Every structure is written in C-alpha cells, then in structure tokens.
Amino acid sequence: MMDDLLEEMVNPAPAQADRARRRRLWATVTIVGLAAVGVTSLTTSALFTDNETTSDAIKTGSVNLTMDAVSFSVPVDNMLPGASIVAPIEVRNAGSLRYQYAISYEAENGAGNGTGALTDRLRLAIFTRTAGNCTLDGTTSATGRIGRSSSTNAFGLATSLTPIVGDPADYANAENRFLSATESEDLCVRIDFDVDADNTYQDTSATLTLKFDARQLDFDPSQPDESGVTGP
C-alpha cells in the first residue's frame, strides 16, 4: 500500500483534461504529416508543362550555266587570209546559287585538201559586250577584252583545253567571272585569220571548242543569301 501511495505521489495520473489535450496534439501531428505527404504528392505528380515542335525543309541550291550555240556572223567555210569573224554568246545563270565561271578553249584541225595546220594561223579573243553589239568594228581594240589566246597577240591556237578567261582550277583567280542567280552576261568571241597564211592553208578547216566551267562560291557567314544578290 505504501509503495502504491509513493508511486502516485511521484508519477500522478494525468488529469482528464490532459488526456484530451494529448489526444488532440497527436491528431494534429498526424494531420500535418498527412498534409505534408499530400503536398509532396501534388508537387511531384501534377506539374504544369508545355512544349512546342517546329520543323523546316532544307533544300540544296543548284549551279546551272546555260548558253546558246556559237553562230559566227559570216560563213566560216570560205574564209580568206586577213579575215575576221565574231559570234555573240549569252551566258546565263539558270540556277539558284551565285557562281563564278571560267572559260577554256581548244582547237582541232579538220579535213581539207590543204597541207597547212589551220590552227597555227588563227587567233582568238573574247570580249564583254552589251546584247546586239558583237561586231567586228566593236572588237578591234582591247576595250572590254577579257581573254585572248596569246598575250603577245600572236597567231596559233592550243590543241588541248587551255584557260583563256580565268582558270577553272583556281578558285581565287582574279579573272574568273561572277553571275548571281537569274543574271546573264553577253560575250563576243572573235577569231582572226592570219593575213600571211600561204597557199598551204587553202581548203583547210578547224573546229573551235569553248568550255565554260561554273563553280559555286564558298559559304560566307556574312552573306547567307547564296543566290548572291551581293558579293564579289
């Protein structure tokens, strides 16, 4: 009995009000814990999101050099020593990219009863001319001349492909020509027959071939429009 009395004095039984308050405290802790779990669940499984998708087609450009056939102004099957002939050529950029181009030529001796090599007595020059102005009188001086078969104006044509305007193998050649997309350029080709050609050149022939090589320009980040509205 004494021990029970001492126990009650040291650890008295909680009052009824304390018991109710403790139950409310534990209930509050439980509710707060559940609320925290709910917030965590809401944060991880119900995020607001958004996204967009975009696409665009990529199409490469084209390099397309076109021109008409060469047609000389006088019959080429009845030339005499000292005669000259001209032919207009329009070079067109029918592609979508700005390009540079160079011209090479070669001459080949053809059939005939004469014994002379006609290519030895011919001379070639190329001029820039406005449309309709490719004439003999308009090509007697060096004005507008962009290429010739001999730097000394001597007679004799190459019989293998030889650059005459610019250089197709040299991108940095200062004589290369430039054309933007849809642009064109009118050229005039002149051939002279040596006045000193002798009888061995009677009834001889030769074929002249002009080769135009076009090349796209290297990409320039400062000029992303590859059609070449501006540029060298």
Rounded-to-integer distance, Cα 142 and Cα 5, Å? 136
Rounded-to-integer distance, Cα 165 and Cα 104, Å? 7
Full set of structural domains in the chain with CATH:
65-216 (2.60.40)
Rounded-to-integer distance, Cα 151 and Cα 123, Å? 11
Rounded-to-integer distance, Cα 102 and Cα 91, Å? 11
Cβ-based neighbours of 178, under 8 Å, separated by 6 or more? 98, 99, 100, 101, 228, 231, 232
As a whole number of angstroms, the longest Cα–Cα distance in the chain is: 160
> What confidence score (pLDDT) does residue 34 get?
40
HEC letters along 204-218: CCEEEEEEEEEEECC
Rounded-to-integer distance, Cα 143 and Cα 172, Å? 24
Pair 100, 215: CB distance under 8 Å = yes
Q: How confident is the chain (232 residues) per 10-residue block, as mean pLDDT?
A: 50 54 50 44 55 53 72 68 91 89 91 90 94 90 96 95 95 92 92 93 89 88 66 48
Sign of CA dihedral 190, 158, 142, 212: positive
